[in-house]
């Protein structure tokens, strides 16, 4: 069986890496955040990659663009939640820097793909 087409997208690869790193780091968040910050950050990170996949799987450019808009919104949410996690002492500055670098790269690629669908 061949690999799904979305896996060829660089933006998907970066979003997937971001989601996986978020999941890894969120494992160390305090138990009382399980249904709060941990859950919200994980869902936002997954939303980015899942919206790329779902949009790619649609039949039209306009639908794909709509899912990329949602992914961009989720990416903005991820950025705030990373800052919040740092402020709460749940992640280190190095972790934040790594996540933000991935977030920025993902945002650049998402925006470029979004614009290419004009």
What pTM was estimated for this model as a whole?
A: 0.94
Read off the pLDDT of residues 72-99 as tens digits, 9 standing for 90 and up.
Answer: 999 999 999 999 999 999 999 999 999 9
Q: Are 34 and 11 in contact (CB under 8 A)?
A: no
Sorted by sequence, the CB contacts under 8 Å of residue 37 that are 6+ apart come out as: 29, 81, 84, 85, 88, 90
Token pair 């061949």: residue: 2
pLDDT the model gives residue 9: 96
pLDDT given for residue 118 in this prediction: 86
What per-residue confidence (pLDDT) applies to 13? 98
In this structure, CATH architecture of domain 9-116? Up-down Bundle (1.20)
Alpha-helical segments (H) within 1-60: 10-26, 37-57
Condensed to tens digits (0 to 9), the pLDDT of residues 7-66 reads 999 999 999 999 999 999 999 999 999 999 999 999 999 999 999 999 999 889 999 999
pLDDT given for residue 35 in this prediction: 94
Measured between alpha carbons, how far is 98 from 58 in angstroms, rounded to an integer?
Answer: 32
pLDDT at residue 4 in the model:
82
Q: How confident is the model at residue 2 (pLDDT cuts 50, 70, 90)?
A: confident
- Alpha-carbon distance values, 82 to 65, 67, 110 (Å): 26, 22, 19
For residues 18 and 48, is the Cβ–Cβ distance under 8 A? yes
- The one-character DSSP state at 3 is P
Confidence (pLDDT) at 1: 63
């Amino acid at each position: 069986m061949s690999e799904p087409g979305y896996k060829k997208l660089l933006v998907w690869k970066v979003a997937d890496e971001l989601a996986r790193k978020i999941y890894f780091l969120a494992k160390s968040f305090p138990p009382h955040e399980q249904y709060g910050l941990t859950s919200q950050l994980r869902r936002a990170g997954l939303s980015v990659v899942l919206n790329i996949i779902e949009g790619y799987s649609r039949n039209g450019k306009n639908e794909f663009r709509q899912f990329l808009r949602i992914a961009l919104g989720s990416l903005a949410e991820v950025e705030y939640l990373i800052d919040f996690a740092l402020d709460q002492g749940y992640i280190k500055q190095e972790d934040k820097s790594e996540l933000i670098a991935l977030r920025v790269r993902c945002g650049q690629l998402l925006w470029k793909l979004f614009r290419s669908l004009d």
